[in-house]
Amino acid sequence: MIIVFLGAPGSGKGTQASVLARHLKIPFISTGDMLRKEVGNSSVLGLKAKSFMDQGGLVPDSDVISMIKERVTQKDCVSGFVLDGFPRNSVQAKAMDRAMMEINKEVNKVVYLEIPQAVAIDRISGRRVCKKCRANYHIKYSPPKAADKCDTCSGDLYQREDDKQETVIKRYQIYLEQTKGLVDYYQDRLVTIDGNLPIGEIEKNIGDKLKVAVS
């Protein structure tokens, strides 16, 4: 089963995609996480990607497409995978279709998490991430017990450069201009979910619609 998650930045797609992947026992693949790792390693791709990411822009299609093709053709993806953050535009969606056709597969379902713009922006600008274990918090909705420290590993929490207010607005704009249209592209396999509900309820609704046991 190959599942793509679509939604605005802040829609919760990373959280829900990783939970679903765990239930299905298939890899969770986030292009944002992969790129942040490249940046952390100061690889050639990382150094190139950083400037686009810090400004809230998209990393060039050719780089992201090569990176994802390399990843999804690895052995652990043979029974499927859940994608978060890819595709981000129609060039990437078409490249994905072609790559999957070559190995006799296809994107089976596309989960679209729908949320109002104000909620998306509020969620991202309050997000804090643990430097050590990458756990996510929100200053209002899921604050850590001790200020700026991770509950699990005591690592320092920080705000992603691209989660800062000005950048968030740019990322949202790019989402509207380039990504949202994929809802039409994938109309025949789209599952629309209200993303403005408590996390557990969203998880259950996704499970019900995809007929995957989530408890």
Give the C-alpha separation, 100 to 137, whole Å: 35
Of 112, 171, 182, 203, the one binding ligand AMP (CB under 6 A) is: 171
DSSP states of 8-25: -TTSSHHHHHHHHHHHHT
171 in active site: yes
9 lies in the binding site for ligand AMP (CB under 6 A)? yes
**What residue type is 123 in one-letter code?**
R
Site for ligand AMP in 23-82 (CB under 6 A): 31-32, 35, 52-53, 56-59, 64
- Comparing CB distances to ligand AMP, the nearer of 9 and 144 is 9
36 in active site: no
* Segments in the chain forming alpha helices (H): 13-24, 31-40, 44-54, 61-72, 90-102, 117-125, 165-174, 182-185, 199-210
Catalytic residue (one of 36, 109, 128, 171) = 171
Catalytic residue (one of 160, 164, 189, 204) = 160
48 in active site: no
86 lies in the binding site for ligand AMP (CB under 6 A)? yes
Closest among 76, 64, 85, 74 to 27, alpha carbons compared: 76
Give the C-alpha separation, 82 to 92, whole Å: 16
| Residues that contact ligand AMP, how many (by CB under 6 A) | 17
- Comparing CB distances to ligand AMP, the nearer of 9 and 195 is 9
Backbone dihedral angles phi then psi of residue 135, each to the nearest 5 degrees: -60, 145
Give the C-alpha separation, 32 to 187, whole Å: 24
Yes or no: say if 121 and 20 are a contact pair by the CB < 8 Å rule. no
- Comparing CB distances to ligand AMP, the nearer of 18 and 204 is 18
- Give the pair of three-digit tokens for residue 45: 């791709």
Catalytic residue (one of 36, 50, 88, 123) = 88
- Comparing CB distances to ligand AMP, the nearer of 128 and 171 is 171
Catalytic residue (one of 36, 50, 109, 127) = 127
Q: Provide the greatest CA pair distance for the chain.
A: 50
- Comparing CB distances to ligand AMP, the nearer of 99 and 204 is 99
Of 88, 123, 127, 128, the one binding ligand AMP (CB under 6 A) is: 88
**Measured at CB, which residue is nearest to ligand AMP?**
32
Question: Which residues participate in catalysis according to the annotation?
Answer: 13, 88, 127, 160, 171
Q: What residues line the site for ligand AMP (CB under 6 A)?
A: 9, 31-32, 35, 52-53, 56-59, 64, 85-86, 88, 92, 162, 171
